[in-house]
Chains A and B, each alone.
Chain A
Amino acid sequence: MEITVSYRGKEKKLNIDKDKITAGDILKALDLSSDYAFVAVNGEVVSEDYIIKETDKIKVVNAISGG
Chain B
Amino acid sequence: MNRLKKGSRCTICKSKGEKNKAIVYLPHHRLALCKEHFISWFEKRVEKTIKEFKMFSKNDRILVAVSGGKDSLALWNALVRLGYEADGFYINLGIGQYSEDSKQLALNFAKRIGRPLHILDLSSEISTIPQIKESTNRPACSACGMVKRYYMNKFAKENGYNIIATGHNLDDEVAVLFGNTLKWDIDYLKRQYPVLKEENGFIRKVKPLCKITEKESALYSFFNGIEYIEYECPFSEGASSIEYKEYIAKLEEKHPGTKLQFYTNFLKRMYPILQTNEKLKEELNKCKICGEPSYNEICSVCSLKEKLKTARV
On chain A, the residues within 8 Å of B246 by CB distance are 33, 64
Interface hub of A9, A34, A49, A67 (most chain B Cβ within 10 A)? A67
The stretch that binds A, out of B46-54, B150-158, B235-243, B265-273, is B235-243
Within the complex, the shortest CB–CB distance from A67 to chain B, in Å, comes to 5
Docked-complex contact A47 and B3, CB < 8 angstroms: yes
In whole angstroms, what is the CA distance A45 to B168 when docked?
24
In whole angstroms, what is the CA distance A47 to B213 when docked?
18
Within the complex, the shortest CB–CB distance from A19 to chain B, in Å, comes to 19
- By the criterion of a CB under 8 Å from any partner CB, how many residues of chain B are at the interface? 41
B250 close to A (CB within 8 Å): yes
Given that A45-B23, A48-B3, A67-B69 are contacting pairs, would A36 and B214 also be in contact in the complex, using a CB cutoff of 8 Å?
Answer: yes
The stretch that binds A, out of B198-206, B225-233, B303-311, is B225-233
Residue of A nearest to B27 (CB): A35
B81 close to A (CB within 8 Å): no
Given that A9-B230, A50-B6, A63-B215 are contacting pairs, would A45 and B222 also be in contact in the complex, using a CB cutoff of 8 Å?
Answer: yes
Residue-wise, chain B 126-151 has the 8 Å CB interface mask toward A (1 for contact) of 00000000000000000000000000
A37 close to B (CB within 8 Å): yes
Residue of B nearest to A50 (CB): B6
Within 8 A of A (CB), among B178-226: 213-215, 217-219, 222-223
Within 8 A of B (CB), among A1-46: 8-10, 33-38, 40, 44-46
Within the complex, the shortest CB–CB distance from A25 to chain B, in Å, comes to 13
Docked-complex contact B222 and A61, CB < 8 angstroms: yes
B4 close to A (CB within 8 Å): yes
On chain B, the residues within 8 Å of A50 by CB distance are 6
B252 close to A (CB within 8 Å): yes
Instruction: Name the interface size band of chain A.
Output: 20 to 34
In whole angstroms, what is the CA distance A41 to B81 when docked?
27
B87 close to A (CB within 8 Å): no
Which one of B172, B217, B232, B252 lies within 8 Å of A35 (CB-CB)?
B252
Docked-complex contact B249 and A33, CB < 8 angstroms: yes
A65 close to B (CB within 8 Å): yes
Given that A45-B219, A67-B241 are contacting pairs, would A33 and B250 also be in contact in the complex, using a CB cutoff of 8 Å?
Answer: yes
Within the complex, the shortest CB–CB distance from A21 to chain B, in Å, comes to 15
Residue of A nearest to B24 (CB): A45
Docked-complex contact A65 and B232, CB < 8 angstroms: yes
In whole angstroms, what is the CA distance A27 to B24 when docked?
16
Docked-complex contact A61 and B6, CB < 8 angstroms: no
Q: What are 5 A-B contacts with C-beta separation under 8 Å?
A: A47-B6, A61-B222, A65-B232, A66-B232, A67-B241
Q: Tell me the A residues contacting B by CB distance below 8 Å.
A: 8-10, 33-38, 40, 44-50, 61, 63-67
Contacts A8-B230, A36-B213, A38-B215 supplied; 14 other A-B pairs, CB < 8 Å: A8-B231, A9-B231, A33-B250, A36-B245, A45-B24, A47-B4, A61-B218, A61-B222, A64-B249, A65-B70, A66-B233, A66-B239, A67-B71, A67-B241
